[in-house]
Amino acid sequence: MKTCLIVDDSRVIRKVARQIFEAIGYACEEAEDGRKALDACTAKLPDFVLLDWNMPVLNGLEFLRALRLLPGGDKPNVVFCTTENDLSHIQEALGAGANEYIMKPFDADIIRGKLEQLGLIES
Amino acid sequence: MKPEDFELFSTLVKQRSGLVLTAEKSYLLESRLFPVARKHNMKSLEDMAQALRAKREEALMFDITEAMTTNESFFFRDQKPFTLFQKTLLPHLLTARAGKKQIRIWSAAASSGQEAYSLAMICVEEAAKLQGWKVEIIGTDLSREMVARAKGGIYSQFEVQRGLPVAHLVKYFQQIAGDKWQIKDNIRQMVQFREGNLLTDFGVVGPFDVVFCRNVLIYFDLPTKTRVLATISGMMPTDGFLILGGAETVLGVSDKFKVVPGEHGLYMGASCDVSLISGARG
């Protein structure tokens, strides 16, 4: 089973995202900040990371840069999922190695669409 | 809603757009027609039905039809038809039309323009191969409001995320407000939008090498489907490509087109050698 790490400091968002990913067939883990997410990735790399931007301790962008430096850290598909919705943030995220970008609010259709574009599920 | 009022509205919509509304769609009819009633200063759908019986006023009939035929649309909807266009149809046309170096594409029932713009983006991605070619993309919709929206090319944050890769958003859109994005001029200039009704005045003149007519026929009854396909066929060369929606087919509906085996939703003229396409893909 493919694995997904959901990184967001909001418990509600993590729960909503978990439901969407479990329905698609992913085994989900959760982390409430970038540091805990990085610890999880150091222990075992997930196939997919859904990543909030603004979080305490280590933010999403800092986490992503650190992840990409881990051995095999270039492999996971990382999709930002954040309220930051301006072009400069999107460009910064892509520059740091994000594979896709979702601007909140999101729904299951948007997540499914992004997974289709990344070739992770069939349309 | 009273059955006779439903009958009145659905007959009007059928006459003007071809859209067949069955009784189980009456909830949809109600939710979409209330705003129309309000706009025309009527308190209820019953009042609106009465007004319509008394006087068949054009503005009211126009608004009712428009409200019932507006459909949701998103960029690269269903993805596969667009991959098909980019990987199979376009390469084929680059050879088949090498003489005149011209490709004409029609997005029928273009709604708010996402399909036509998606095709334009693909053409820009393939610009190197299309150098020196003239590509025309024309979108038509029977809704005046949709045509205006399509021309403007402004979409909400929600709309630009459905089906559109973020790399395309960055490349082909500009952010004009926090949650509004507009298609860049170079893409907008590639597409023309016009009012056109598939039942009466198509609003365009053929021939078209590629016709996208997706998720429209499903709303028509059989004779209407047959008639619309015949008219579309008259505007295409026999080796042109027709793309229908996933739940639509020409089988048992029209003898003007034939199925391209192995390519779901793709059709060519009945007298055309479809092995040109399906054969090439083994």
Task: Look at residues B36, B69, B102 and tell me which one is the last residue of a structural domain.
Answer: B69
Would you say residue B215 has pLDDT above 90?
Answer: no
Task: Note whether A113 contacts B161, CB cutoff 8 Å.
Answer: yes
pLDDT at residue B21, rounded to an integer: 83
- B241 and B141 in one domain? yes
| B276 compared with A82, residue with greater pLDDT | A82
Task: Note whether B162 contacts A109, CB cutoff 8 Å.
Answer: yes
Domains identified in chain A and CATH numbers: 11-107 (3.40.50.2300)
Would you say residue B281 has pLDDT above 60?
Answer: no
**CB neighbours of A71 closer than 8 A, spacing ≥ 6?**
none
CATH number of the domain at B14, please.
1.10.155.10
CA distance A103 to A60: 14
User: In this predicted model, what pLDDT tens digit does every residue of B185-212 receive, in sequence order?
Assistant: 999 999 999 999 998 888 888 899 999 9
Instruction: Choose, out of A116, A118, A121, A122, the residue to mutate when testing the contact with B (most B CBs < 10 Å).
Output: A116
Number of domains in chain B: 2
Could you tell me if residue B56 is inside a domain? yes
Whether the predicted interface score ipTM is above 0.95: no
Task: Look at residues B47, B69, B91 and tell me which one is the last residue of a structural domain.
Answer: B69
Could you tell me if residue B102 is inside a domain? yes
Would you say residue B280 has pLDDT above 60?
Answer: no
Mean of the per-residue pLDDT values of chain B: 91
In B116-172, which ranges are E strands? 134-141, 154-156
User: In this predicted model, what pLDDT tens digit does every residue of B249-264 receive, in sequence order?
Assistant: 999 999 999 999 989 8
pLDDT at residue B132, rounded to an integer: 96
pLDDT at residue B101, rounded to an integer: 97
Task: Look at residues B69, B90, B124 and tell me which one is the last residue of a structural domain.
Answer: B69
CA distance B95 to B55: 56
**CB neighbours of A106 closer than 8 A, spacing ≥ 6?**
A81, B161
In chain B, which ranges are E strands? 102-108, 134-141, 154-156, 173-177, 180-183, 191-195, 210-213, 241-244, 257-259, 266-269
Which residues of B make CB contacts under 8 Å with A?
Answer: 74, 78-80, 157-158, 161-163, 165-167, 169-170, 174-175, 178-179
Between the alpha carbon of residue B37 and those of residues A13, B144, B188, the distances in Å are 39, 19, 34
In chain B, residues with a C-beta closer than 8 Å to the C-beta of A101 are: 166
pLDDT at residue B165, rounded to an integer: 93
pLDDT at residue B69, rounded to an integer: 74
Range of the domain at B173: 80-281
CA distance B70 to B74: 13
User: In this predicted model, what pLDDT tens digit does every residue of B41-73 receive, in sequence order?
Assistant: 999 999 999 999 999 999 999 889 888 876 667
- B30 and B92 in one domain? no
Report percent pLDDT > 90 for chain B. Answer: 68
Residues lower than pLDDT 70 in chain A:
123
The confidence band for B282, taking pLDDT boundaries of 50, 70 and 90, is very low
Q: Which candidate from B163, B174, B178 shows the least CB-CB separation from A113? A: B163
- B171 and B147 in one domain? yes
Instruction: Taking residues B156-179, report their average pLDDT.
Output: 92
Task: Note whether B170 contacts A86, CB cutoff 8 Å.
Answer: no
Task: Note whether A90 contacts B169, CB cutoff 8 Å.
Answer: yes
Task: Note whether B162 contacts A110, CB cutoff 8 Å.
Answer: yes
CATH number of the domain at B220, please.
3.40.50.150
